[in-house]
Structure 1
Amino acid sequence: MQKHQKYFAVISKSTGDLLPYFIAVANGAISKEVVRKGNEAVLRARYEDAKFFYKMDTQKKFSEFRGQLSGILFHEKLGTMLDKMTRVENTVAELALILGINERTVPIIKDAAALAMSDLATSIVTEFTSLAGIMARHYALRDSIPEEVVMIFQYGKFGTNLS
């Protein structure tokens, strides 16, 4: 809504919940009713798309998406995203120890590396790329993957409590 249509969401001041309203700004003279109906139709279609993709994705376990990374090219000379993530998975434990990360944390990091970026193969992230990492966290929690593993998925949200 914010990225593609440039609308502002309306959030409840008391609860912080998203409300079923939006604010749009138009330049020049317009027919408010025509513009409102058009904007609502676009949002409804995007919502229906998201609902469809989410329903498709949730028919599988999050871990099942990892294999589909083989169909996503990372780099012409370096292979697919699956190739990349396999390399990451094979090196994180050694790297964690070199960096002085607590040994108790290494299994958590290895588990996260085994599933990291798997959401790139989901339908919803393919369609709504800005949800990468966010959907990984959501799908992983839905599948009862431990929170300490899941917190690593949301790109750019790394904590400092891993040492």
Structure 2
Amino acid sequence: MTYIDGKLPHTPYRPISRSCRRMRNPTINSRKGLCAICGDVATGVHHGVPACEGCKGFFRRSVMRKTPYTCPRNKRCEITPTQRNKCQYCRFVKCTQAGMRMKIEIHPIEQTIGRLRQLVNACHKKALGVHGQKRPDERKIVTLDPLVSKRKHI
């Protein structure tokens, strides 16, 4: 290849589809395998099953939202990389049949946020008292706005 002025020749960037990458590089299939749900390239073992990012996220969202799905056809839809978004019911059934576990691992930061919300709710309920009215000693609410406005700038 000849270079003009020592520069690389301009070639427009064209992304390669996943199926082309699999065909060009068969080691992708042997290293990570295929998604047990749709047959796309698996990015790892997610929820106990080799799965692609799409099926991993779909399963996680489905479990978290507890959305009841219905099949618009005969409950025998084909789940492929190109057809996987057509029927959520059949995709979710295939996820569970493939062995995806319903247990979701929650990120530690999400656990911390959940605990903080519980603490705030508990404190709020305690402040309201038994009948939903504030106790006499808790009627004054201190806000930081006056304190912040009176601070001295250094």
Structure scoring higher RCO (CA < 8 A, sep ≥ 6) equals 1
**Structure with the higher fraction of residues in helix conformation:** 1
TM-score, L = length of structure 2: 0.23
Higher alpha-carbon Rg: 2
**Structure with the higher fraction of residues in strand conformation:** 1
